[in-house]
Amino acid sequence: MDRMLYVAMTGAKQTMYAQAVNNNNLANANTHGFRQSLAYAYTEPLRGPVYDSRDYVQVADEVIDFCKGAMQATGRDLDIAIQGDGLLAVQAEDGTEGYTRAGDLHIDAQGIMRLGNGLTVLGDGGPISIPPAESILIGADGTVTIRPLGGAPQGLAAIERLRLVNPPTQDLIRSEDGLFRRRDGDPAPADANVRVASGMLETSNVNTVGALTRMMELTRHYETQVKMMSTADNLGKTNNRLLGIS
Amino acid sequence: MNQALWVAKTGLDAQQTRMSVVSNNLANVNTTGFKKGRAVFEDLIYQTCRQPGAQSTQDTQLPSGLMIGTGVRTVATEKLFQQGNLVQTHNSMDMAIEGRGFFQILMPNGDMGYTRDGSFQINSEGEVVMSNGYPLQPGVVIPEEAQTIGISQDGIITVQLPGQVDPQELGQIQTADFINPAGLQPIGENLFLETAASGAAQESTPGANGLGQIVHCALETSNVNIAEELVNMIETQRSYEANSKALSTADSMIQFANNNLAR
């Protein structure tokens, strides 16, 4: 009897985790470049001595959905969106290299190119430093061109190239800081075929309708598990009543 | 407490912030020299409930983990400094900057403020001031008897005095530029303050060193695009609704457990 209670309890608990993963997708429906996680459940068998009744459930969210978000035109020169596959390399707070699809670039007071959240954007040769410029343009292959302050329209200077990589998506995991990294932790090689579009941002790829449907499904599933738990409870009560000495 | 509830709450918070930014943009659609804002979001840190890649036995690894995101946060409400449209006003004290740069304004506390709002006026002492009375720097005093005022593309102010053939030069407007204008701190009244993020102001003559030229008898309108903001508003509202649905669903799950267990 209590086996039933525990099996149902893990079901309810893991459904709640799946709901949190799903809610995180919904909360990030407007985060540029966000990639949704798909929570899925698998069996975690735990064999007892009598018969095979205990298959506990375990939820995992490792699957990151890398399908594309929509392109949003912003008209700002320093907004970039990666067209097709590929990722932009940035330096994480711990100094390691991480990858992202977010592309709202900024130039800070020291001339260093950063993402909207302050992380340093990496070029082929490390952090990108931009001299005082009248305008900054980013080409389709990530080449950063500037027109220096007071420079003639034809006096353009190519500064650096954004470090764009394209490792296989099954090698990528999401780290605790939200950046993607390779499973083995090594930096990915630069890929010359990644294309970026300037003046655009990529929206998150969360499908709101899909997430809301999933939310309902998980709720009903949770209710079923709770029902099982209360049934187990009732069975125990009946046992006690029938067998108890009163 | 329940993770799902708190994640949904961060979503509601973020959409609320975005809605304030959108409303502020729409409210300032007719403010001279106003620069629109944009809310930038990022996902919060992920909480590892089950470490992916841990050894399940000596030879095998767990193929997957459970990393629950803790929601979303607004990381910045940045200003977008795209050029606004220039409109002709035929008012001789109006000027607009076409390109980079800010007018420098002396604030009452002695600090320097920066603005793109070029609707200047003359106060009782003949000083050139903003509509709120703060004087333009370097200061210019327009003589009382001046008949016409001219402002050149590089900021030289000339007046025509009665009985004189040649116009008289009064001074030159200097504008300031920043390496990162998005780092300026907006303080209202169309003014911005220098911060560590914007870099130091680089004062120069309009039209030189990459600074924009001054257009006389014109004003720069706000760079808010109403259609774009309305689309943002719809998107924000729908996201808010979805998150509010998520919040009430997580709540009803707990409620169901509370009502059906251990009675």
Is A5 at the interface with chain B, CB within 8 A?
Answer: no
pLDDT tens digits, residue range B11-20? 999 999 999 9
Query: What is the DSSP track for A203-227?
Result: -----HHHHHHHHHHHHHHHHHHHH
Nearest to B52 among A31, A62, A219 (CB): A62
Is A178 at the interface with chain B, CB within 8 A?
Answer: yes
Nearest CA in chain A to B200: A109
pLDDT at B2: 79
pLDDT above 90 (res B27): yes
Provide mean pLDDT across the span B219-223: 94
- Count interface pairs A-B at CB distance under 8 A: 204
pLDDT at A55: 80
Indicate the pLDDT class of residue A151, thresholds 50, 70 and 90.
confident
Q: Please indicate, yes or no, whether residues B198 and B248 belong to a single structural domain of this protein.
A: no
Cβ contact B8–A106 (<8 Å)? no
Give CA–CA dist A59/A18, Å, rounded: 7
Half-sphere exposure of B262 (CA within 13 A, CB side): 3
What is the DSSP code (8-state) at residue B263?
-
pLDDT above 70 (res B140): yes
What is the DSSP pairing of strand A143-148 with strand A80-83?
unpaired
pLDDT above 70 (res B263): no
Q: Return the closest-CA partner of residue B35 out of B87, B109, B94, B102.
A: B102
Specify which of A36-45, A146-155, B187-196 reaches the highest per-range mean pLDDT. Answer: B187-196
Q: Please tell me whether the overall predicted TM-score, pTM, comes out greater than 0.90 for this model.
A: no
Q: Please indicate, yes or no, whether residues B101 and B181 belong to a single structural domain of this protein.
A: yes
Collect all residues of chain A within an 8 Å Cβ-Cβ radius of residue B180.
106-109
pLDDT above 90 (res B37): yes
Q: Please indicate, yes or no, whether residues B213 and B232 belong to a single structural domain of this protein.
A: no
pLDDT above 80 (res B25): yes
Indicate the pLDDT class of residue A86, thresholds 50, 70 and 90.
very high
Q: Please indicate, yes or no, whether residues B10 and B131 belong to a single structural domain of this protein.
A: no
Q: What percent of chain B has pLDDT over 70?
A: 98
Please state the ipTM of this predicted complex. Answer: 0.79
Indicate the pLDDT class of residue A116, thresholds 50, 70 and 90.
confident
Alpha-carbon distances of A49 from A43, A53, A220, rounded to whole Å: 18, 10, 33
- When the pLDDT of each residue in chain A is averaged and rounded to a whole number, the result is 88
What is the DSSP code (8-state) at residue B83?
P
pLDDT at A75: 84
pLDDT at A244: 79
Q: Please indicate, yes or no, whether residues B205 and B228 belong to a single structural domain of this protein.
A: no
Alpha helices in chain B (DSSP H): 3-27, 226-260
Any idea where the domains of chain A sit in the sequence? 2-66+206-242, 71-202
Is A157 at the interface with chain B, CB within 8 A?
Answer: no
CA distance B257 to chain A (A): 6
CA distance B246 to chain A (A): 6
pLDDT above 90 (res A53): no
Nearest to B180 among A26, A60, A108 (CB): A108
Q: Please indicate, yes or no, whether residues B193 and B233 belong to a single structural domain of this protein.
A: no
Cβ contact B82–A111 (<8 Å)? no
Cβ contact B260–A175 (<8 Å)? no
What is the DSSP code (8-state) at residue A31?
S
The residues, any chain, with a CB within 8 Å of residue A230's CB and separated by 6 or more, are B260, B261, B263
Give CA–CA dist B227/B219, Å, rounded: 22
Q: Please indicate, yes or no, whether residues B161 and B230 belong to a single structural domain of this protein.
A: no
Is A55 at the interface with chain B, CB within 8 A?
Answer: no
Collect all residues of chain B within an 8 Å Cβ-Cβ radius of residue A105.
none
Cβ contact B180–A107 (<8 Å)? yes
Q: Which domain holds residue B99?
A: 86-220
CA distance A18 to chain B (A): 9
Nearest CA in chain B to A16: B4
Q: Please indicate, yes or no, whether residues B8 and B121 belong to a single structural domain of this protein.
A: no
Cβ contact A106–B78 (<8 Å)? yes
Cβ contact A178–B47 (<8 Å)? no
Phi and psi of B234, rounded to 5°? -60, -45
pLDDT at A5: 87
Nearest to A30 among B3, B18, B245 (CB): B18
Is A65 at the interface with chain B, CB within 8 A?
Answer: no
pLDDT above 90 (res A4): no
Residue B216: exposure state from Cβ atoms within 10 A (0-12, 13-18, ≥19): buried
Q: Please indicate, yes or no, whether residues B229 and B214 belong to a single structural domain of this protein.
A: no
Indicate the pLDDT class of residue B248, thresholds 50, 70 and 90.
very high
Q: Please indicate, yes or no, whether residues B139 and B208 belong to a single structural domain of this protein.
A: yes
CA dihedral B23, B186, B109, B218 (to 10 degrees): -90
Report which residue type is found at B19.
M
Alpha-carbon distances of B199 from A9, A108, B4, B118, B141, rounded to whole Å: 57, 8, 41, 23, 30
Give CA–CA dist A191/A173, Å, rounded: 19
Could you give the angle at the alpha carbon of B72 between the alpha carbons of B67 and B73, nearest 5°? 135
- When the pLDDT of each residue in chain B is averaged and rounded to a whole number, the result is 90
Is A6 at the interface with chain B, CB within 8 A?
Answer: no
CA distance A141 to chain B (A): 24
Nearest to A106 among B100, B182, B238 (CB): B182
pLDDT at B191: 94
What is the DSSP pairing of strand A195-198 with strand A180-182?
unpaired
What b-and-e string marks burial along B64-84, b requiring 16 or more CB atoms within 10 Å of the CB? bbbbbbbbbbbbbebbbbebb
Q: Please indicate, yes or no, whether residues B125 and B245 belong to a single structural domain of this protein.
A: no
Alpha-carbon distances of A121 from A91, A98, A140, B78, B151, rounded to whole Å: 6, 10, 17, 18, 42
pLDDT at A246: 58
Q: Please indicate, yes or no, whether residues B73 and B93 belong to a single structural domain of this protein.
A: no
pLDDT tens digits, residue range B42-98? 998 888 877 777 777 787 777 677 888 899 999 888 899 999 999 999 899 999 999
Say if residues A218 and A19 touch (Cβ distance below 8 Å).
Answer: yes
Nearest to A173 among B52, B180, B243 (CB): B52
Residue owning tokens 């959409």: B15
Provide mean pLDDT across the span B167-180: 91
Nearest to B68 among A21, A116, A178 (CB): A21
Indicate the pLDDT class of residue B1, thresholds 50, 70 and 90.
low
pLDDT above 70 (res A91): yes
- Number of domains comprising chain B: 2
pLDDT at B213: 92
The residues, any chain, with a CB within 8 Å of residue B251's CB and separated by 6 or more, are B5
